[in-house]
Amino acid sequence: MKKIGIIGGGQLGKMMILDGRRMDYEFVIVDPTVKCPAHNIADSHIVAGFEDIEAIKRMASRVDVVTYEFEHISVEALKEVEASGTPVYPSSKTLERIQNKLRQKEWLRKHEIPVPDFLSVKSQADIEHSAELFSYPLILKTCTGGYDGKGNYVISNPDEIEKGYQALGAGKVELMVERCIDFVKEVSILACRSLNGDIAVYPIAENVHKNSILDETTVPARISKETEAEGMQIAKECLKAFDAYGMLCIELFVTKEGHILVNELAPRPHNSGHYTIEGCYTSQYEQHVRAILGLPLGNASLIRPTAMKNIIGDHSASEAELLGLEEAYKNPNVKVHIYGKEKVVNGRKMGHITATADTIEEALEQVRKAHQALSFR
């Protein structure tokens, strides 16, 4: 029986385990939260931080392969695990090139994959220089650690340069600045490569964010055939450029001209891929498990139009008691996924809702109606 180690026991790790269970695999997780979402279903849980190299090595000694559910972890730990003989996918080299956003963009540009214009920031003067090159607004970013809008600062005019620079550490952390893209859509593509060489690319998903957090995903994306083909090609090029195995999510901007620019990469299953559980023949979680074990990949095709809506905490509470499930389930097409987080926190992803239908519009209407029925207290 194969044993898989996962760094991280959040909702992505939980859903990976749920799909891996059907294939009779065992799972060991490392996560600092005692009652993390995956705690109750993992075979073993090592309670330790994501930078705890010794804990990660201890987990690796008990499994056949190691993977991770998010990228803000110790690359050095992964290198030591690989050196000890336990494989890690995606590899430490892949993560090292993606984890730092400046290094990621430089690598993409080196491989002629289209990205927004960007510059490294060493001082406030560098931001002023970028404004001369790119004009306003600008996006100032921390190179590591940011997600869901954290670590980003929009600079709209010269008066905000110092504010942004101070807000993101005033040079204490590595920074970069990007040209702000006047996009018409945000989309994402899930691509996967197995150790046996198989490649699977999922349909392009259309995403809507609220307060910099993913709110809704609809599939297929409402884009032209030419834009779709360009996106599919970029996804395959990204897999190759970063020598990535397992799931890779490519977040993209669609420009007014219908072209695509890469925003960011995530070397793991992704929030915008939750729809694959009900919407595709093979979920991104099963696909990831297959890939890192060298199995043939499953069919990544869409079964029918699908919509997914996140359930985001809109207040803080000591307990996460869900209300309204009976009302939400009055629509038999609706599926509700609750992650099992102990506390509701404003802005925290608590679960998601998925519906499939004959049209995107119908599916979207169904998840929105179900979402209105649900709440936490």
List, in sequence order, every residue forming a beta bridge with 26; answer none if it has no partner.
3
Which two structure tokens, joined as six digits, stand for 151? 């670590």
264 is known to lie in a ligand binding site: yes
Establish whether 157 is an annotated binding residue. Answer: no
State how far the Cα of 267 lies from the Cα of 241, in Å rounded to an integer. 13
Report the alpha-carbon distance of residue 246 to residue 239 in Å, rounded: 9
Determine contact, residues 201/232, Cβ cutoff 8 Å: yes
Q: Please list the alpha-helical segments (H only) found in 190-224.
A: none
The upper half-sphere exposure of residue 98, i.e. CA atoms within 13 Å in the direction of its Cβ, equals 28
Distance spanning both ends of the chain, measured CA to CA: 41
Rg of the Cα atoms in the chain: 20
Q: Which residues contact 203 (CB under 8 A, 6 or more apart)?
A: 219, 220, 221, 280, 300, 301, 302
Look at strands 175-179 and 118-121 and give their pairing. Answer: antiparallel
Q: Is 178 annotated as a binding residue?
A: yes
Which residue, chain included where needed, has tokens 């519009």? 361
Contact 90, 248 (CB under 8 A): yes
Residue 101 marked as a ligand binder: yes
181 is in an annotated binding site: yes
Please check if 21 is assigned to a binding site: no
**180 marked among binding-site residues:** yes
| Contact between residue 137 and residue 155 where contact means Cβ atoms under 8 Å apart | yes
CB 355, CB 335: distance < 8 Å: yes
CB neighbours of 363 closer than 8 A, spacing ≥ 6? Answer: 218, 305, 306, 307, 333, 355, 356, 357
The dihedral built from the CA positions of residue 69, 282, 187 and 240, taken in this order, carries a sign that is positive
150 annotated to a ligand binding site:
no
Q: Which residues are annotated as a binding site for ATP?
A: 101, 141, 178-181, 186, 209, 263-264
Q: Which residues are annotated as a binding site?
A: 101, 141, 178-181, 186, 209, 263-264
